[in-house]
Structures are given as structure tokens and as C-alpha cells.
Amino acid sequence: MSLAKTVLLMLAITSPAWADTVMCGSGTVFDNAILPLLAYASLVTGILIALSYMAGTALSNPKLTLWSKTEIVQLAISIASVSLIMLAVTTFCSLDMKDIANIFNLPGTHASINVYDAATNYLEGSVNYTHNALIMVRYHLEAYTVLSYFNAFICDYNVDRIGLGCFFGYSGDTEQPFGGYGADIAALNVFFNSTIIAYFTALNFLFILLFIYHGFVFLFLPLGVLLRALPYMRPVGSLLIALSLSFLTIYPLMLGIFYLMSPVLLDAPAYAPPGINMANYGESIFPDSTSSASQLAVSTVGESYVHDHYFGGGKENLAGAIAFAAFAFIAAVFFPTAALLAAIASVAYMARMMGEEIDLSRLTQLV
């Protein structure tokens, strides 16, 4: 399966309709899978605490009895944290991003979607925006590379390509009419490479959001509730619950805010800067080598024929291509990274609510 088909399949999986069945609406995965697992984890934890209390009473072991009483409080804190997550999910599902945009009179048009769908929409838009930037930069890079290799023999005493120097011997100069494009090629290579990085970074952030919606809380929340009641495992359980709370609230919320800015950040819904028509930058522009007419035109008319094929109608826009690549890097790398860092930073504060201190330096090293 090609990369393009893989990306299209992934975008279909992470479309708002799919995300809505996972986090919001009736019959969601959150309601049908995660909440029952949380209930089972809480029940198992409660049974362990009750058995420990009974064993401590029977054996007259005050340490075991005290541990059981302490864990009852910690179980209550875990359940309260899970309730806070459920409240946040319900709130985010009820918020309408279009109404929020209208309240603040934000530019552009916005869909009537919830926070979780808005986060998905922004990352999908950043993928499309970066892909369009790749297309435009690659188009100019191909054109400049082809044109820069053309050589022309200019006869002495010439008028255009005809000169007296070629009638009386072979007198003239060999030139590269578009040799100056070599400097532009070097610059475009830099921006092409950075845009490729931005493109795959945007896909990476989209996969992270996919994991959060489909498997993150499914694993971390029930396990966190259970581990908080086990000896020496309370910091780990607190970390798992804090991670679930942060990545189910802060990360989608930040991306949802960026969605409100998408008409400016991503030039939505065209996903191209004003004045740039992506229909002008397609494939197979170079004249077909199997066509006798194309070969004759290139040989007779010269490099100007190929130049007009690439840049006819004012399609040459080097500054626009470089700016497009720069905007794509900011939209696909800088802003999603800021959302991820905000979620990671909030983990420490979420853990403090459960009485634990989390070493953020080690956590960021893992990321």
C-alpha cells in the first residue's frame, strides 16, 4: 500500500465521525469499555483493601490495618480523579466550537463540532496544509533542476539563436540559460527537507491523538486505579491517572484552540496561502520523451519551451513556495508540539492533586 493510500486510510479512521463514536455520543467506547473496566478495577481494589483489613484484624497487625485504612482514602481519591475525567469528557463533548468562535468573533468559518473533533480536524488540516506545501516546493525544485541542466550554443553575431558565427565555422559560446537557478535549488532543498519533517511530524501527532482516543485511557485509567492501592506502586498509579487526565483534557483542548485559529494558521478551507492555486502545481509537466513533437519542440525552440511548460501563466513563485513551507512548519510542528508540551507539563500538577510528586525531567526524557 502506498504512503498516500495509508494516509488517506488513517484520515478516514480519525475522521470526526469516528472520533465521535469513541469519546462522545451514545454507545461510545468510553462508556461501553473504559467505564466497566474502571468499575472492575475499583471493585478489585476494594476487595484487596477489605481482605487486607480483615487479615490485619485477625492477625492483630496494626501496620496492615493502618495500610488498609489509608488505601481506602487513596481509592476515594482515585475515584474522584476518574470522576473529574468523566466530567471533563462530558464538558468537552458538549462544547460547540462554532459557538465559541462566534462569541469571540473569530475570522473564517468553523464547523459545529466538539473539542475532540476539533482537535482531530486541526491535525488533519495541518497534514493537508503541509502536503500542499510539499507539492509546491517539489514542483519548483523539479522545474529548476530540469531547467538548470539545459545548455545552449550561442553563435557569434547572433539574432536570437541564428548567428553568422555558425555559418562560417563553429564560432560562439556555450551557455546555461537558466544556470542561475542553481542557487534557488540549494535554498529549495533546505525547505523541502524541513517540509518533509513537518509532514511526518503532523502525522505523528495525529497518531498520538488516535492512540489517546482509542487506547490511552483504556489501558492507563483502570491500571492506575489498581496500582495506587498496591504497596510501593502508588506513584506509578498516580502517574498513569495524571497522564490520562492531562492527555484527555489539555492536549485536545490546546489543539481545539488551534482549530479556532485554523483559518489563519492553515488558511482553511483551501489549505493554501491566498493567491496560490494548487491546481497549477501538478505532475508530469516535463515534455514526454516518447513524443516526437515534444522532442522536436525542445530541440528547435529550446529551453524556453520547457520553461513555459513549467511556469506559463505566472506559476513561478519561489518566494511563495518558501513562505508556504515556513508556514507549514509552524502550523504542523510548532503548535502541536506546544500542545504536547503543555499536556506533559500539566502531568506534574495533576499528580499533585493525588499527593504525589512527578519528576518531569525523567518523563520528558521518555517522550
When pLDDT is averaged across residues 150-169 and rounded to a whole number, the result is 68
- Whether residue 251 is predicted with pLDDT greater than 90 in this model: the reply is yes
DSSP string, 59-76: TT-HHHHHHHHHHHHHHH
For residue 97, is it within any domain?
Answer: yes
Contact between 266 and 126 (Cβ < 8 Å) = yes
Contact between 328 and 129 (Cβ < 8 Å) = yes
Contact between 229 and 74 (Cβ < 8 Å) = yes
- Tens of pLDDT along 10-66? 444 444 444 444 677 666 666 666 777 777 777 888 888 888 888 888 888 888 888
Place of cell 462530558: 90
For residue 166, is it within any domain?
Answer: no
Residue 332, pLDDT score: 95
Q: How many angstroms separate the CA atoms of 42 and 45, rounded?
A: 5
For residue 211, is it within any domain?
Answer: yes
Place of cell 508530469: 284
For residue 170, is it within any domain?
Answer: no
| Cell numbers standing for residue 346 | 500539566
Instruction: Return the minimum-mean-pLDDT range out of 29-43, 196-210, 264-278.
Output: 29-43
Contact between 125 and 262 (Cβ < 8 Å) = yes
Q: How many angstroms separate the CA atoms of 257 and 128, rounded?
A: 18
> 177 pLDDT band (50/70/90 cuts)?
confident
Residue 162, pLDDT score: 65
H or E segment and range at residue 97: helix 97-103
When pLDDT is averaged across residues 312-325 and rounded to a whole number, the result is 90
> 319 pLDDT band (50/70/90 cuts)?
very high
Name the β-bridge partners of 175.
Answer: 152
Residue 15, pLDDT score: 47
Side-chain half-sphere CA neighbours of 126 within 13 A: 35
Q: How many angstroms separate the CA atoms of 318 and 48, rounded?
A: 68
158-159 and 172-175 as β-strands: parallel, antiparallel, unpaired?
A: unpaired
Number of domains in the chain: 1
Residue 287, pLDDT score: 55
Residue closest to 342 by CA, chosen among 263, 256, 275: 256
Q: How many angstroms separate the CA atoms of 26 and 22, rounded?
A: 9
Q: Kindly report the length of the chain.
A: 367
For residue 164, is it within any domain?
Answer: no
> 295 pLDDT band (50/70/90 cuts)?
low
78 exposed, middle or buried (CB, 10 Å; 0-12, 13-18, 19+)? buried
Residue 292, pLDDT score: 55
Q: How many angstroms separate the CA atoms of 246 and 195, rounded?
A: 29
Question: Kindly report the CA angle at 101 between 345 and 195, in degrees rounded to 5?
Answer: 60
For residue 153, is it within any domain?
Answer: no
Instruction: Return the minimum-mean-pLDDT range out of 113-122, 262-271, 344-353.
Output: 344-353
For residue 98, is it within any domain?
Answer: yes
pTM score, whole prediction: 0.79
Residue 157, pLDDT score: 66
Q: Read off the amino acid at residue 243.
A: L
Residue 351, pLDDT score: 76
For residue 16, is it within any domain?
Answer: yes
How many helices (H) and strands (E) in the chain?
Answer: 16, 4
In which domain, by residue range, is 309 found?
A: 3-148+178-366
Residue 57's alpha-carbon distances to 51, 71, 133, 191, in angstroms, are: 10, 16, 70, 70
Contact between 110 and 98 (Cβ < 8 Å) = yes
Residue 158, pLDDT score: 67
Q: Which residue has the higher pLDDT, 169 or 116?
A: 116
When pLDDT is averaged across residues 171-185 and rounded to a whole number, the result is 78
Residue 361, pLDDT score: 60
Q: How many angstroms separate the CA atoms of 110 and 132, rounded?
A: 21
- Tens of pLDDT along 65-124? 887 887 787 778 777 777 887 888 888 888 999 999 999 999 888 889 999 999 999 999
What share of the chain has pLDDT > 90, as a percent?
Answer: 30
Residue 2, pLDDT score: 47
